[in-house]
Amino acid sequence: MLSKKNLKLLIDPINKNNPITVQVLGICSALAVTVKMKPAFVMALSVIFVVGISNFIISLLRNGIPKRIRIIVQLVVIASLVIIVDQFLKAYVFDVSKQLSVFVGLIITNCIVMGRLEAFAMANSPGKSFLDGIGNGAGYGAILIIVSFFRELFGSGTIWNYRVVPQSWYEAGYSNNGLMILPPMALIIVGIIIWVQRSKNRDLIEKN
């Protein structure tokens, strides 16, 4: 269905060109929404939606957008999409929407969205842009889910709100790691992912 080149657009951002661990974009929301897996997953889906669709729309419009006002045009598109997502979440998953609070709205300022529009959608066909957007959103989402998995498991003893650390452990003296709930630990986990990724893909290591 997909040619090799198109598949590369989709797969590359998940690993070798990951927006968080390689391009180091969108870190702030990765720290904020990864305490629990469920909000992280919803956030991932929202970002995939916004990046994919906005890439597609901007790519359609790319030849008609005057160069000098392109940022504001991009912002209008992104903002409309984010509002759609926000309203959708409020309507169907209100509790998650409350947990994500301001961070759904802040997708507008997520550097990944802007970055992909500027770097890719403004210069490529709509089909390709759409795939690139989905790929980058998925790369962002993958990191979010990995980070939130560890934070929820060690910080709350649950996965997707199901208790996995048995009560008997707590009675035996085990206790949840409070640092996992705090944002610095998300940064450290992202750092460890970067470490693991780069020791596997040596060509990602920056020369200095």
Shortest Cβ 180–another protein spacing (Å)? 7
| Min CB(199)–another protein separation in Å | 10
CB of 152 to another protein, least distance (A): 15
What is the smallest separation between the CB atom of 204 and another protein, expressed in angstroms?
Answer: 16
- Give the nearer residue to another protein in terms of CB position, either 108 or 182: 182
Q: Whose Cβ is closer to another protein: residue 127's or residue 191's?
A: 191
Cβ–Cβ contacts within 10 Å for residue 184, how many?
A: 10
160/169 with CB nearer another protein? 169
Shortest approach of another protein to residue 142 CB, angstroms? 22
- For 40, the token pair is 């992280």
Query: CA nearest 132: which of 14, 26, 1?
Result: 14
Q: What gap in Å lies between CA 47 and CA 49, rounded to an integer?
A: 5
Q: Which two tokens stand for residue 123?
A: 């210069």
Q: 38 vs 198, which CB is nearer to another protein?
A: 198
User: Which residue ranges make up the site for another protein (CB under 8 A)?
Assistant: 173-175, 177-180, 182, 188, 191-192, 195
Please state, in angstroms and rounded to a whole number, the distance separating the CA atoms of residues 151 and 149. Answer: 6
CA distances to 64, 144, 147 from 193, rounded to whole Å, are: 41, 11, 9
Nearer to another protein, 80 or 177 (CB): 177
Handedness of CA 118, 122, 123, 128 (dihedral sign): positive
Q: Which two tokens stand for residue 57?
A: 């729309």
- What single string gives the DSSP state of each residue in 56-73? HHHHHHTTTS-GGGHHHH
